[in-house]
Structures are given as C-alpha cells and as structure tokens.
Amino acid sequence: MDKQALRVNEQGHLVLGGVDATRLVQAYGTPLVVYDVAVIRQQIQEFQSALRHSGLRYQISYASKAFAAVAMYQVIDEEGLHADVVSGGELYTALQAGFPASNLSFHGNNKSLAELEMAVENHVGVIVLDNFHEIDLLRRVLLAHKTSCNVMLRLTPGITAHTHRYIQTGQVDSKFGFDVDSGQATRAVQEVLAIPQMTIIGIHAHIGSQIFGVTGFELLVKKLMALSAQWRDQLDFTPGILNLGGGFGIAYTAADDPLTPADFIQHIAMALREAADQHQVALPEIWIEPGRAIVGPAGYNLYSVGSRKDIPNLTPYLSVDGGMGDNIRPALYHAKYAAVLANKMDAPTQETVHLAGKYCESGDVLVDHLALPRSEPGDLIAMLDTGAYGYSMASNYNRNPRPAVIFVEDGLAKVVVRRETYADLVRLDARYE
Ligand SMILES: Cc1ncc(COP(=O)(O)O)c(C=O)c1O
Ligand SMILES: N[C@@H](CCCC[NH3+])C(=O)O
C-alpha cells in the first residue's frame, strides 16, 4: 500500500473503509485486525477483469489459508469466486459459511483419511491429489461410499521461484506434489486414469508465494503444456484445466514493485497461446489461486503504543500490545512492513524506532528501523498490508488472546471474529488430579 494513498480525516486520523481508526479502537480495543472489504472486492475485480480480457476460459479460486473466517468465505462467494481449502478446519469453516462445496478445491500434502471422507461426504468440487498414498486413500474412501469425484493432480514442476526459501514450492526438492522430471507425475496420471471412481479434470502446480516476476509462471505454463502434449501422445489424455496456483506478490514497503494482476495474466495468456500453437494442444481452461493478493492489501493491524526503551547511541525500542502472536511473518520470514502513527497522521517524522511486540522473544520485532513522528503511550500504530497470513497464522503464544477481526465497508464496522478472552484460553484445559 502506497502511504500516500491512505485516507486521513481533518483530525489527522487514519480512516479505514470510511471509519476513523481511533473510533474502531475505542469500540473494539487493541490489538485489532481490520479489513477494508472494498479493497478485497477491488483486488478480486482486478483479477476478474484481467482474465476476462485475456479471452481465456478461467476460474479464480481464493487460497483461503491467507485468511479464513466465515465472513471471508461469504464475501468470496458473493464475488462469485471458488475457494481452496487445505484442512478439515478450513473446509468446515467454508461449509459453516454456506459456501457451495462444489466450488471448493481441497489441497494438502498429507490429507488424513477423515479429511478425505469429509470432502467426499460433502461433495467438494475437486480434490487435488498430492501423492501416491493419497490416491490409494481416496480410492478406498470412494469405494466405501460407492461414489466418485473430480480430482486434479498437484505436480512439482522443478521451477524455483524467486522468493523466500520457506515459501518456494515448485522446486524438485519440495514436499508438495508429484515430481515431473523423474516421471512420477506420469505414473500418477496413469494410476488415476485406471480408477473409474476418479475423473481427472486438470493438473495443478504452485511455484511459491510473494512472487514479483512473471518468468516463473511463463516457465510453468510452457512445462505444463509440453507435458499435456506428451500425455496426449503417450496416454491419450489431455488435461482440460491448468491450475497455476497463486503466488502473486504485493507491495509491503516502498522497496517492493510487484506486477499488477493485469500484467501477470497478460504474460500468462501469451505464454499459453504460444505453447498451445507450438504443441498443437487445445487451449485449456486456466485456474489461479491468489491468496495474498486478494486479502493482503486490505488488512491493517492496529496496536496501542506502550513502553519505550532508549539505549545510548542505538535505535530505541517502541513496544506495542501485539506482536508475533498476531503477525509472525516478520519473525518467521524477516518480512518487512510499513506502519504509521494512525492518530497523528499529519505529524512530521521525527525519529527512527524498532517497533517491538510484547512477546517474550528478542525476535518479536514487527518493524526494524521504522520512521515515525514522536509518539507517547496510548498512541495508535497501524501496520499496513497485514491481511494475508497474519491472523491466519496467529497463535496464543505466551497465552495472549488473539485479537478481534473487524470488517469495515461503506462507513460501517462489523466484528467478524470476536476477540478471545482469558476464559477462551483455558477452555480446552483440564485439571490434573
Ligand atoms: C496450493 C496453493 N495455492 C495457492 C496459494 C496461495 O498463495 P498466495 O497467497 O501467495 O497467492 C498457496 C500458498 O502459497 C498454495 O500452497
Ligand atoms: N505463509 C506464507 C505464504 C504461504 C505459503 C503457503 N503455501 C507467508 O506468509 O508468506
């Protein structure tokens, strides 16, 4: 998010979705996770319009691991998108939201028997098979339920995306998917084609997350189209859908310069048409699974300023009332974020601080070297672009309750996940006696 694009009212307060951020914290407290729903819708529409213009047949499936809650699945459904889930818990949440199971894809490198049963019983649209063990498990579930289902095969294309090592997934040395280069993927297709209860509607690959360039996607399209031609010739099978996964990067700081959805899609469409010509393969339908690009720019984490530590000749530590429990990304990936003093947006920048969390870890620093106006306890910090993999990876570390999540739109605020209480923290505990 470009800081210049932030909305500020006459009081110098940050405004989110038409609501003054200081009013949100008066009503709901801090730390607080806020989503500007109009931004979610706008991000979705950018992908939709780019795909519409490409002339391809397409489907957008929101990668709900980026942020999953009943209200979020409702918005995704309202916008007419599919969603992907990676666990029984995400599937359960989507179903509770009334999300149509037929528009869900079920991912995961180690789905349990119970999860596969849940997916089959609820008629999930497509199960994305990840390994040979799972083919066997699913076959048994389908036989036991005397039913059939649509599947995709997740492939490991041997493409190393330019991003943090922890969020690369397309390289050969990966826990996900059937390896293409060694022939594993071809064996998997042969195996599944022989199972009458499974229909392969397409193939899937996801090369990684927070990707800025289009090269990895172009290589992926070329590789999957070459593979489609090879399977057409050898197995008389051509996948009807290429699911290219997600990974579309967003700008967290001024140093980030990602492509727009339109750029990504235009390059993907060009690579696809070229490869279709080259291999004389019919243009497949294209599915994408953006997570971060849909919710990341829509999210804000609001914190109250508390203690401060000044150290001679060193950068001071300014601590807030949240941290790695509500956003582990800085500690886990050295992720960078921008943050502002949300109740003094017009004040001049006066100092550089380390914005520290309250957790009992030296690594719990949300932003290193953050330029801010001079602040005092009780001031309000807004961290920007926190909507993806923030709340969804939140924990109760140090027995801190997880924050509330608020949706704001058209000047109205609504609690969509309530704040945890201390009572919630001991809800699952039992006395030992
Ligand atoms: C299979 C799959 N699809 C989609 C995504 C979403 O990625 P992103 O949030 O980077 O768009 C992921 C996560 O990296 C994933 O593993
Ligand atoms: N959780 C990661 C990305 C998701 C990886 C999922 N395959 C992040 O915060 O960047």
What is the number of the ligand 1 atom nearest to the C-alpha of 246?
A: 11
pLDDT at 167: 62
User: Band of the pLDDT at 169, cuts 50, 70, 90?
Assistant: low
Q: How far apart are CA 71 and CA 82, in angstroms?
A: 15
pLDDT at 163: 66
Amino acid identity at 339: A
Interval between CA 124 and ligand 2 midpoint (Å): 24
Question: CB of 99 within 8 A of CB of 76?
Answer: yes
Q: Identify the CA nearest to 56 among candidates 220, 246, 293, 244.
A: 244
Q: Which helix (H) or strand (E) holds 410?
A: none
pLDDT at 161: 67
- Tokens standing for residue 100: 């149509």
Residue 187: pLDDT over 70: yes
The CATH architecture annotation of domain 3-36+296-425 reads: Beta Barrel (2.40)
287: Cβ below 6 Å to ligand 1?
A: no
Q: How far apart are CA 421 and CA 358, in angstroms?
A: 17
Interval between CA 209 and ligand 2 midpoint (Å): 6
- Tokens standing for residue 364: 């719990």
Q: Identify the CA nearest to 33 among candidates 422, 410, 402, 411.
A: 402
Interval between CA 290 and ligand 1 midpoint (Å): 6
Percent of the chain with pLDDT over 90: 94
245: Cβ below 6 Å to ligand 1?
A: yes
Averaged pLDDT, 222-240: 97
Q: Identify the CA nearest to 334 among candidates 358, 367, 301.
A: 367
Of 184-188, 210-214, 233-237, 282-286, minimum mean pLDDT range: 210-214
Pairing of strands 32-36, 104-106: unpaired
209: Cβ below 6 Å to ligand 1?
A: yes
**292 labelled ligand-binding:** yes
Q: Work out the number of other CB atoms within 10 angstroms of the CB of residue 368.
A: 15
Residue 217: pLDDT over 80: yes
Averaged pLDDT, 313-338: 98
Q: Among 167, 328, 332, 393, which residue has the most ligand 2 atoms within 8 Å of its CB, making it the best to mutate? A: 167
Distance from chain centroid for Cα 423: 30
Q: How far apart are CA 157 and CA 98, in angstroms?
A: 35
pLDDT at 170: 67
pLDDT at 5: 85
What is the number of the ligand 2 atom nearest to the C-alpha of 388?
A: 9
Q: What is the DSSP track for 42-74?
A: HHHHHHHHHHHHHT--EEEEEEGGGS--HHHHH
pLDDT at 160: 76
pLDDT in tens, 279-316: 999 999 999 999 999 999 999 999 999 999 999 999 99
Q: What is the DSSP track for 137-177?
A: HHHHHHHHTT--EEEEEEEE-----SS-GGGB-SSSS-SSS
291: Cβ below 6 Å to ligand 1?
A: yes
In the chain, domain spans:
3-36+296-425, 107-290
Residue 174: pLDDT over 70: yes
- Tokens standing for residue 49: 């319009």
Q: Among 292, 386, 391, which residue has the most ligand 1 atoms within 8 Å of its CB, making it the best to mutate? A: 292
Determine whether domain 107-290 maps to CATH 3.20.20.10: yes
Catalytic residue among 172, 235, 282, 360: 360
Q: Is residue 366 helix, strand or coil? A: strand
Averaged pLDDT, 367-377: 98
Q: Work out the number of other CB atoms within 10 angstroms of the CB of residue 170.
A: 26
Residue holding tokens 């001031």? 379
Interval between CA 329 and ligand 1 midpoint (Å): 15
User: Radius of gyration (Cα) for the chain, nearest Å?
Assistant: 23
Residue 34: pLDDT over 70: yes
pLDDT at 353: 98
Q: Which helix (H) or strand (E) holds 73?
A: helix 70-78
| Contact residues for 68 (Cβ-Cβ < 8 A; gap 6+) | 85, 90, 93, 94, 392
Residue 94: pLDDT over 90: yes
Q: What is the DSSP track for 185-234?
A: HHHHHHHHHT-TTEEEEEEE---BSSB--SHHHHHHHHHHHHHHHHHHHH
Averaged pLDDT, 46-55: 97
Q: Is 149 a catalytic residue?
A: no
Q: Work out the number of other CB atoms within 10 angstroms of the CB of residue 423.
A: 8
Percent of the chain with pLDDT over 70: 97
Q: Work out the number of other CB atoms within 10 angstroms of the CB of residue 54.
A: 18
What is the number of the ligand 2 atom nearest to the C-alpha of 164?
A: 10
Within 13 Å of residue 239, how many CA atoms lie on the same side as its CB? Answer: 33
pLDDT at 287: 98
Within 13 Å of residue 181, how many CA atoms lie on the same side as its CB? Answer: 10
Residue 31: pLDDT over 80: yes
Q: Mean pLDDT over all residues of the chain? A: 96
pLDDT at 52: 98
pLDDT at 1: 67
pLDDT at 37: 98
Residue 172: pLDDT over 90: no
pLDDT at 321: 98
What is the number of the ligand 1 atom nearest to the C-alpha of 388?
A: 9
Q: What are phi and psi of 58, to 5 degrees?
A: -150, 165
Q: Which helix (H) or strand (E) holds 356?
A: strand 351-356
| Contact residues for 78 (Cβ-Cβ < 8 A; gap 6+) | none
| Contact residues for 42 (Cβ-Cβ < 8 A; gap 6+) | none
pLDDT in tens, 109-168: 999 999 999 999 999 999 999 999 999 999 999 999 999 999 999 999 988 766 666 666
